[in-house]
Chains A and B, each alone.
Chain A
Amino acid sequence: MSHETRPTALPGEPPVTEELVRDHKLTDSEYTAIRSLLGDRTPTLTELGIFSALWSEHCSYKHTKPVLRRFPTTGPQVLQGPGENAGVLSLPDGWAVAFKIESHNHPTAVEPYQGAATGVGGILRDVFTMGARPVALLNSLRFGPLDDPRNRYLFAGAVRGVGDYGNCMGVPTLGGEVQFAPCYAGNPLVNAMAVGVLRADDLITARAHGVGNLLINVGASTGRDGIHGASFASEDLSAESEARRPQVQVGDPFTEKLLLEASLELIESGIIVAIQDMGAAGLTSSSAEMAARGGVGVELDTSLVPTREAGMTPYEIMLSESQERMLVVAEPHQVEAIQAICRKWEQDATVVGRVTDDGLFRIVHHGQLVASIPGQPLVDGCPVYHPDAAEGPEAVARRAATPGAPDVDPEEALRRLLDAPSIASKRWVFEQYDGTVRGRSVATPGGDAGIVRVDDTDFGIAMTVDCNARHVLLDPFEGGKGVVAEAARNIACTGARPLGITDCLNFGNPERPEVFFQFVEACRGISEACEAFGTPVTGGNVSLYNQSPTGAIDPTPTVGMIGLLDDVRHAVPSTFRQVGDAILLIGTTRGHLGGSAYWAEVLDAVVGPPPPIDLPRERAVQEILIAAAAKGWLGSAHDLSDGGLAVALTECCIGGPWATVTFGADIDLARHADAVSDHGWLFGEDAGRVLLSCSPEHVSALQALAAMHGESAHYLGLVGEPEGDVVVRRDDRRWSWPSRDLRRIHLDAIPRRMSVPVLAGES
């Protein structure tokens, strides 16, 4: 390879000017830092591109590092915390679970189908890079209202993209969420989460070591896809950025399926030192990060990288975000064995570089040295920023406000809530996702959490993604706690014990104090809740600059949580199962309407303080659910979230997405929380509440169990006849709805709106 020490520009390469530097989204102070790093010389174009990628917000976390450091990340169950491609928690019998969530928001705004599909492809690679076989997917989606054709187009395209990629990979999608709000119209959110299982001792990390070891490019060849994707993901979406739009990344799930099998076989065979997927900033970040983690240098020869198009420059090859590629480190004598395994799976494996002892990140192209950068500072030498954080006055005002509109009659209000796409059934969405492939799905979408059985054991992994962005907007700290609390409640409702989380922090421009305030406070809330629940943060992803001409998105810190269900035969469904079962409500009702879906969707007012979160009591509720499920006392359990008791009761009565019967119910609120208003009782969103059903003989035992944990299980009434009415009584008031009508409204809300054609053009 090359022995020069000073990199030189390639013929015809533009000189690095101040303008070019600004074009690469590097500030003057960052550029000064770069020059001094390089011994006060001007970087080559290739070096500039490499810095712009690794020092982008997306790769460097330069605005968020100090805040993220405060997350609790340890616990007896943690095998791998933040810093690797995915977090890993230990399971019984030597098993482990690897999981991670990641955003693909900006690519989705540009091209929803490919943007969402490649988001799923990327998160799957993060998981199998750890040596884990992907066993489940989840997705968290945010779009503008469905009455706008552009939003319908983005929504339909993203859902199809998520589905097509995961379906082709043979990984079931077991959970997710979809919300609609005007703030996402210019800037949709697509967060994809993957869950994989592995034997704990097969865990492999992405650390390059062993001077003289080789770097091997495995998988698809490199094209001009998504060049500058990393810095693209770190700027506001504007007309101008649309123009500078990078070549769209196209996903190939067929190749990824083969790459998955090849990678797992390489890892199991024990013949490789390290493996790392090529995600954002492709070859650049994968090689530089592996080298930095291992404290070594690397030299890459870009002229050896298989390319899809002729005449690609080292700049393009280093920054390409072509999908379905992995970088492997191995001892030279293993190359043939590696190529044999790759051939079996019809994947190319090409030596493109080697591990060096000088700590330098060197790029050679046809024998010419085009980049030579000190490796460690390249990866973590980016200046770190401490932006101002201050709550905006309008946020304070919003929290203090109350709706202008008068209350709506409860029977009508519930119908409108169920017809709101954010609350309505998401069957139209998850029917496009294979939920049963692999034959291990214990709970498919439609309940509180998905459950997948681990291989042929008795235990299962419960999983959910949640974020009530409205609550976070109104009070980032309480809202942040609430996100973790809702996720944990969803997990515990199935009978599983929460183990840990991964987070995807979607926010606006951090350089705006009111946005950074939301970020800091939400993270503080998430941290406190994770401490209280013993569910450490094992990794995640930050997506900032979710900012369109119409302003910043609501703060959307999505949490993906994993839980352990000791015996999948004890999995608790979320809907009523038996006429005559007793209906109990765990938790305390104060009629808290601030930040509620009722105010937002029916009274059109996103105002008020969200419900405060009492962490010890949340924990108590989880313990009650886990214990009761293990005893087999629960017919069903469903947490109260958007829309409060009325919506939760409806969801329990109308059955799951494929149910053929609906149940009536008759509950009486008298003698419970008398001070609470009718609307507060029906639609209030006090946290820490769960609606249970059980056969009558277990009522007293359940109430004793609840009392033992300092909670109460209020007896509300009975599950009614098939196709019966849902009846709620309170003193002299009586509200009632035919259960079948409620089901129809809940199920038709989204399909009805999507039956109008969606446009491909006019993007």
Chain B
Amino acid sequence: MRIAVIRFPGTNCETETIEAVRRAGGAAQLIDYRETSLGGCDGVILPGGFSYGDYLRSGAIARFAPVMQPIKALADTGGIVIGICNGFQVLCEAHLLPGALLHNAAQRFSSRPVDIRIERADLAVTREFAEGECIRIPQAHGEGRYVADAETVAALEADRHVVLRYVSVPGSDMPHNPNGSVADIAGICNPAGNVIGFMPHPERLADPVLGSDAGHRFFTSLVQAGAVEMTG
């Protein structure tokens, strides 16, 4: 699988995201938001950053960029589309995922590690984890409070579309939920499981040189998923 990493004006996590994919043995390519095709890539990551400065609402303007057309098409045909942080916000604004991400409940930007539980270990970015496994990776956002109406949330839970959840670990004196997301939701997927969005940043902690590579397996999973797809 070849991963298209999308750059909108204001995207700022594209470099480390591409590096993380390559470190996991995958192929990644930077794609400009003005493109109308994915240049032969069969997977997409919408990386973090501040597309269009997060003006109006994060992801609200990026949603209309030309590149979103081929991305929607890929998603509709079951192709893998991942949104990290700002990418997650774009996917919600584009209605490829339900709900919305609003300003953190504390009304402050929150940059710190979060403890998250892997709720689904059968998806493109989680297959290298065990279900229920907890890891600590960085998170940094001002608009990460996931909200959706009661029915939507109930459906997400019932259909197990919650992929990552904030959990509290003993001894931590930070609120385990950094932004007030409903049901401690940190990441979700669409019914088919091929469109996945989450707020934390595994790509920022995917290299042992930094003291931990807790995020590395998101990308080995992704590369695995690609391999399986090709053989199977």
Contact = CB atoms under 8 A, between A and B. Distances in A.
B177 to A, nearest CB: 14
Interface string B200-214: 010111110111000
Interface in B66-93: none
Given A170-B13, A254-B10, A257-B10, A434 B140 contact: yes
B111 A434 contact: yes
Interface in B1-34: 9-10, 12-13, 15-16, 19-20
A169 B53 CA distance: 9
Contacts of B50: 167-168, 170, 253-254, 257
Contacts of A747: 173
Count class of interface residues, chain B: 35 or more
B43 interface: no
Which has the most chain A C-beta neighbours within 10 Å: B12, B15, B174?
B12
Contacts of B111: 167, 430-436
A453 interface: yes
A441 interface: yes
A253 B53 contact: yes
A453 B210 contact: yes
A748 to B, nearest CB: 9
Given A436-B140, A442-B210, A658-B174, A252 B109 contact: no
B129 interface: no
A660 B109 contact: no
Contacts of A431: 108-112
Contact of B140 (A160, A437, A571): A437
Contacts of A734: none
B49 A170 contact: yes
B206 A432 contact: no
B209 A437 contact: no
A439 B20 contact: yes
Interface in B165-214: 169-174, 201, 203-207, 209-211
B144 interface: no
B183 to A, nearest CB: 23
Interface string A286-307: 0000000000000000000000
A141 B81 CA distance: 42
A571 B48 CA distance: 28
A181 interface: no
B98 interface: no
B112 A438 contact: no
A660 B52 CA distance: 37
B53 A660 contact: no
Contacts of B207: 439
Nearest to B51: A254
Interface string A404-433: 000000000000000000000000001111
A439 B10 contact: no
A164 interface: yes
B12 A453 contact: no
B147 to A, nearest CB: 22
A506 to B, nearest CB: 27
A346 B108 contact: no
A134 to B, nearest CB: 11
Count class of interface residues, chain A: 35 or more
Contact of A254 (B52, B112, B171, B209): B52
A458 B208 CA distance: 12
A163 B140 CA distance: 11
B20 A435 contact: no
B201 A168 contact: no
Contacts of A458: 209
Contacts of B59: none
A257 B12 contact: yes
B99 interface: no
B113 A658 contact: yes
Interface string A439-458: 11110000000000100101
A670 B103 CA distance: 54
Given A167-B142, A168-B53, A437 B204 contact: yes
A432 B53 contact: no
A660 B172 contact: yes
B205 A436 contact: yes
A660 B140 contact: no
B169 A660 contact: yes
A345 B34 CA distance: 12
B109 A661 contact: no
Contacts of B13: 170, 437-438
Contacts of A170: 12-13, 49-50
Contact of B138 (A253, A436, A569): A436
B112 A163 contact: no
Nearest to A438: B16
A644 to B, nearest CB: 25
B203 A439 contact: yes
Which has the most chain B C-beta neighbours within 10 Å: A167, A458, A747?
A167
B205 A163 contact: no
Contacts of A453: 209-210
A620 interface: no
Which has the most chain B C-beta neighbours within 10 Å: A433, A437, A439, A660?
A439
A395 interface: no
A345 B48 CA distance: 18
A657 interface: yes
Nearest to B107: A160
A169 B110 CA distance: 16
Nearest to A167: B109
B112 A441 contact: no
Contacts of B49: 170
Which has the most chain A C-beta neighbours within 10 Å: B10, B19, B52?
B10
Interface string A527-545: 0000000000000000000
A346 B140 contact: no
Contacts of A340: none
Contacts of B169: 660
Nearest to B114: A658
B54 interface: yes
A258 interface: yes
B52 A169 contact: no
Contacts of B210: 439-442, 453, 568
Contacts of A744: 173
- Give the 3 A-B residue pairs with the shortest CB-CB distance, closest first: A170-B12, A254-B53, A439-B16
Given A345-B9, A438-B15, A439-B203, 9 more contacts: A168-B50, A254-B50, A431-B109, A432-B109, A434-B109, A437-B204, A458-B209, A659-B171, A723-B171
12 contacts: A167-B109, A168-B10, A168-B50, A253-B53, A254-B53, A345-B9, A431-B112, A436-B205, A438-B204, A568-B210, A660-B170, A747-B173
Interface of B: 9-10, 12-13, 15-16, 19-20, 48-50, 52-55, 108-113, 138, 140, 142, 169-174, 201, 203-207, 209-211
